[in-house]
């Protein structure tokens, strides 16, 4: 009986798919416009759009369809309209060049916008000079993959986000290249989603921005030369694995800002040439393992408002300051990290230093309270202050120390 039922389902699916038609759009085709092809199409049909420029004053897709562009046909919003609005489930947009959406401080125009829908697939598109690039509003189980999104605005007010997800769930943001937007990728109230293998660079504000988004993962992404790196705020259960944060320089810039987050993991990431590798404020129960902090201004800034932060098996190499903090209360654990400034010894040759290492220098504590003191950097007086502080600690936090510093960098 079960085998017969499976056979009947297979026959039904075959019959169902055989009814789907393919409609071509182009100058020499019956359908000259994409809009007319959408009106003519039945559910689950495929529309193949030939190369050309299509100015159609906002295409609304209100039925399950697959739109495939041949040689990147251009959908031009003429700087007035939203280009494509998806208002049905099971819609695929593949292989288009979408450009010149309208700009509005009231209406969030986008190159492609998903309105309260499931199973949208947006792949292999070029999005240029759109206010928002791809916007998902109440999107569920949508795939945004292998798109190139570029904008050229200078002011935040004139630019939306490259990929913007709001009140969405089970989203897959994979293999996209995003530059020139306000935020490269923005998540607000987004859950159970993954951001994987994206390259987000030269965005005005953040390469990636989380707000109130829980149980998400971002992995194997590159965040380079953004205004302020990545911000994860007011969220929990966020996993951050094997990302690369590079050259996010500037006043108040960092590789990652962690603000009011909890129960999260930062593992296997590279922080190189950032003003601050990681800035942590009001965070709790964060595990940071196997990360590399190299040639940053500060490797890590951890405020006194943090607790239960575990730093283990990380490498700190070539940073101006390894760790900075703003108070003496320390409720966090630093153990088994490598510090290139450690000048202790290992008499028993177990590859672990015999005396603890205190990564917070007296000079960094002074700079935290009096930033103009940075003018004295590399002066004799600062060296003497730091050496005397190591002998008789007075300003640096007593409990902020690595009791088991590694003698050699950990292979990450």
Least confident of 47-56, 153-162, 246-255: 153-162
Is the confidence at residue 257, as pLDDT, over 60?
yes
* Predicted pLDDT of residue 107: 85
Is the confidence at residue 366, as pLDDT, over 80?
no
User: Within 10 Å of residue 148's Cβ, how many Cβ atoms?
Assistant: 17
Lookup result for tokens 């003519």: 40
Token pair in block for residue 112: 């492609």
Is the confidence at residue 386, as pLDDT, over 70?
no
User: Judging by DSSP bridges, how do beta strands 183-188 and 163-166 pair with one another?
Assistant: parallel
Average pLDDT over residues 265-273: 97
Average pLDDT over residues 387-406: 70
Of the candidates 137, 216, 228, which has an alpha carbon nearest to the alpha carbon of residue 182?
Answer: 228
User: Within 10 Å of residue 17's Cβ, how many Cβ atoms?
Assistant: 9
pTM value > 0.85: yes
Q: What would the pLDDT profile of 58-89 be if each residue is shown by its tens digit?
A: 999 999 999 999 999 999 999 999 999 999 99
User: Judging by DSSP bridges, how do beta strands 22-25 and 59-61 pair with one another?
Assistant: unpaired
Report all structural domains of the chain as residue ranges with CATH numbers, in order of start: 20-227 (2.160.20.10), 234-360+397-412 (no CATH)
Q: Are 178 and 152 in contact (CB under 8 A)?
A: no
* Predicted pLDDT of residue 302: 92
Least confident of 138-147, 217-226, 322-331: 322-331
Q: Give me the helix-helix angle, 380-391 and 362-369, nearest 10°.
A: 120
Nearest-angstrom CA–CA distance, 230 and 240: 11
Average pLDDT over residues 7-32: 69
Q: What would the pLDDT profile of 201-242 be if each residue is shown by its tens digit?
A: 999 999 999 999 999 999 999 999 999 899 999 999 999 999
| C-alpha gyration radius of the chain | 26
Of the candidates 139, 137, 127, which has an alpha carbon nearest to the alpha carbon of residue 171?
Answer: 139
Spell out the long-range contacts of 164-167 with Cβ–Cβ below 8 A and sequence spacing 24 or more. 164/108, 164/110, 164/132, 164/133, 164/134, 164/135, 164/136, 165/135, 165/136, 165/139, 165/190, 165/193, 166/135, 166/136, 166/137, 166/138, 166/190, 167/137, 167/138
Nearest-angstrom CA–CA distance, 203 and 80: 23
User: Within 10 Å of residue 239's Cβ, how many Cβ atoms?
Assistant: 14
- Mean pLDDT across the chain, nearest whole number? 89
Nearest-angstrom CA–CA distance, 356 and 342: 9
């Amino acid at each position: 009986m079960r085998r017969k039922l499976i056979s009947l389902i297979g026959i039904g699916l075959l019959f169902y798919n055989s009814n789907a038609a393919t409609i071509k759009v182009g100058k020499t085709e019956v359908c000259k416009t994409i809009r007319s092809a959408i009106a003519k199409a039945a559910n689950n049909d495929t529309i193949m759009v030939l190369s050309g420029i299509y100015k159609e004053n906002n295409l609304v897709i209100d039925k399950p369809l697959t739109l495939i562009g041949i040689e990147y046909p251009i959908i031009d919003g003429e700087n007035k309209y939203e280009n494509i609005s998806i208002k049905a489930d099971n819609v695929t947009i593949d292989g288009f060049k979408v450009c010149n959406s309208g700009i509005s401080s009231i209406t969030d125009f986008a190159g492609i916008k998903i309105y309260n829908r499931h199973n949208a697939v947006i792949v292999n598109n070029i999005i240029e000079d759109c206010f928002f690039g791809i916007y998902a509003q109440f999107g569920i189980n949508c795939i945004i993959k292998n798109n190139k999104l570029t904008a050229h605005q200078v002011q935040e007010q004139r630019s939306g986000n490259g990929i913007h997800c709001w009140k969405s769930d089970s989203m897959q943001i994979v293999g996209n290249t995003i530059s020139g937007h306000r935020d490269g990728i923005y998540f607000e109230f987004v859950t159970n989603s993954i951001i994987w293998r994206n390259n987000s660079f030269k965005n005005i504000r953040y390469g990636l921005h989380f707000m109130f988004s829980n149980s998400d993962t971002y992995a194997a992404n590159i965040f380079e030369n953004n205004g302020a790196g990545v911000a994860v705020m007011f969220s929990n259960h966020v996993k951050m694995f094997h990302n690369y944060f590079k050259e996010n320089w500037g006043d108040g810039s960092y590789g990652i800002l962690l603000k009011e987050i909890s129960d999260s993991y930062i593992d296997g990431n590279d922080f190189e040439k950032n003003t601050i590798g990681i800035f942590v404020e009001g965070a709790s129960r964060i595990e940071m393992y196997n990360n590399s902090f190299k040639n940053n201004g500060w490797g890590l800034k951890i405020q006194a408002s943090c607790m239960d932060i575990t730093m283990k098996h990380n490498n700190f190499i070539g940073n101006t300051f390894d760790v900075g903090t703003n108070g003496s209360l320390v409720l966090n654990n630093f153990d088994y990290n490598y510090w290139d400034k450690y000048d202790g010894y290992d008499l028993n040759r177990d590859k672990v230093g015999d005396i603890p290492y205190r990564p917070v220098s007296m000079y960094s504590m002074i700079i935290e309270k009096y930033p103009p003191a940075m003018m004295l950097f590399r002066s004799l007086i600062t060296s003497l202050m730091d050496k005397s502080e190591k002998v008789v600690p007075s300003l640096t936090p007593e409990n902020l120390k690595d009791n088991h510093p590694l003698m050699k960098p950990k292979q990450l």
